[in-house]
Amino acid sequence: MTRWDIACALLAGALLAVGHDTGRFGWLVLAAPVPLLVVALRAPRAWHVAVLAFVAGWMGEAGPMWFYGRILPAVYALAACQALIFMLTVLFMRGLYRRFPAAVAVLGFAVMTAALDYLRSLVSPNGSFFALGYALVDVVPLLQTAALAGVPGLSFLAAVVPAGLAVLCVRPRDARAIVSWSVPVLAALVYGFWQLAQPPGPSVRIALLGDDRYAGRVFHHPDAGPSIAAAFAGQVAAAAAHGPAAIVVPEKMLAPGAAFTPPQGSVIVAGIDAPASGGRRLNVAALYGPAGAVATYVKKRMVPGLEDEYVRGTTELVTQVGGLRTGVAICKDMDFAQDLRLYGRRDVGLMLVPAWDFDRDAYLHGRMAIVRGVENGFALARSASQGLMTLSDAHGRIVAERRTALRPALLVGDLPTGRGGTVYSRIGDVFAQAAVAAWLGLLALLVRRRKRAAPSAGFSAAPSSPSPR
What is the Cα–Cα distance from 229 to 25, expressed in whole angstroms?
A: 39
What is the DSSP track for 101-136?
-HHHHHHHHHHHHHHHHHHHHHH-TTTTTT-GGGGG
What is the Cα–Cα distance from 321 to 424, expressed in whole angstroms?
A: 24
467 domain residue, yes or no = no
What is the Cα–Cα distance from 274 to 259, expressed in whole angstroms?
A: 14
Out of 145-154, 211-220, 240-249, pick the least confident: 211-220
Per-residue pLDDT at 461 exceeds 70: no
Q: Give the residue ranges of DSSP H helices in 345-411.
A: 362-376
Pair (151, 289) in one structural domain: no
Question: Which pLDDT score is estimated for 462?
Answer: 44
Pair (169, 216) in one structural domain: no
Pair (342, 278) in one structural domain: yes
231 domain residue, yes or no = yes
Confidence at 160, pLDDT banded by 50, 70, 90? very high
Pair (134, 207) in one structural domain: no
Pair (122, 231) in one structural domain: no
Per-residue pLDDT at 201 exceeds 50: yes
**Number of domains observed in the structure of the chain:** 2
77 domain residue, yes or no = yes
Pair (412, 445) in one structural domain: no
Please tell me whether the overall predicted TM-score, pTM, comes out greater than 0.95 for this model. Answer: no
> Is residue 64 within 8 Å of residue 130, measured between CB atoms?
yes
For residue 27, give its domain range: 3-197+428-452
What is the Cα–Cα distance from 61 to 29, expressed in whole angstroms?
A: 12
Angle value at C-alpha 419, between 414 and 422, nearest 5 degrees: 135
Mean pLDDT score, 439-453: 90
Pair (145, 30) in one structural domain: yes
pLDDT digits (tens, 9 = 90+) for 238-248: 999 999 999 99
Secondary element (H or E) of residue 351: strand 350-356
Pair (331, 357) in one structural domain: yes
Per-residue pLDDT at 466 exceeds 70: no
Pair (88, 180) in one structural domain: yes
Pair (102, 215) in one structural domain: no
Confidence at 290, pLDDT banded by 50, 70, 90? confident
385 domain residue, yes or no = yes
- Give all strands (DSSP E) within 393-458, no chain letters: 398-403, 409-416
Question: Which pLDDT score is estimated for 455?
Answer: 65
Confidence at 22, pLDDT banded by 50, 70, 90? low
pLDDT digits (tens, 9 = 90+) for 436-445: 999 999 999 9
What is the Cα–Cα distance from 211 to 179, expressed in whole angstroms?
A: 52
Question: Which pLDDT score is estimated for 94?
Answer: 97
Question: Which pLDDT score is estimated for 67?
Answer: 84
Question: Which pLDDT score is estimated for 460?
Answer: 45
Q: Is the dihedral angle over the CA atoms 260, 266, 270, 276 positive or is it negative?
A: positive
Per-residue pLDDT at 31 exceeds 60: yes
Output the average pLDDT for the chain.
92
273 domain residue, yes or no = yes
| Residue 61 one-letter amino acid | E
Question: Which pLDDT score is estimated for 312?
Answer: 96
Map residue 58 onto helix, strand or coil. helix
> Is residue 407 within 8 Å of residue 214, measured between CB atoms?
no
Confidence at 400, pLDDT banded by 50, 70, 90? very high
Burial class (CB in 10 A: 0-12, 13-18, 19+), 215: buried
Map residue 238 onto helix, strand or coil. helix
pLDDT digits (tens, 9 = 90+) for 364-378: 899 999 999 999 999
Q: Are strands 379-385 and 398-403 parallel, antiparallel or unpaired?
A: unpaired
413 domain residue, yes or no = yes
How crowded is residue 147: how many other Cβ atoms within 10 Å of its Cβ? 25
What is the Cα–Cα distance from 24 to 39, expressed in whole angstroms?
A: 28
Per-residue pLDDT at 459 exceeds 60: no
Q: Which residues pair with 350 in a beta bridge?
A: 326, 379
469 domain residue, yes or no = no
> Using CA atoms in the order 280, 284, 288, 293, what is the torsion angle rounded to 10 degrees?
-50
> Is residue 119 within 8 Å of residue 7, measured between CB atoms?
no
| Residue 372 one-letter amino acid | R
pLDDT digits (tens, 9 = 90+) for 61-107: 888 888 888 888 888 999 999 999 999 999 999 999 999 999 999 99
461 domain residue, yes or no = no
Map residue 389 onto helix, strand or coil. strand
What is the Cα–Cα distance from 146 to 155, expressed in whole angstroms?
A: 10
Pair (290, 367) in one structural domain: yes
The domain that holds 314 is classified in CATH as 3.60.110.10
Mean pLDDT score, 165-191: 96
Pair (116, 244) in one structural domain: no
How crowded is residue 17: how many other Cβ atoms within 10 Å of its Cβ? 22
Per-residue pLDDT at 465 exceeds 60: no
Confidence at 20, pLDDT banded by 50, 70, 90? confident
Per-residue pLDDT at 469 exceeds 50: no
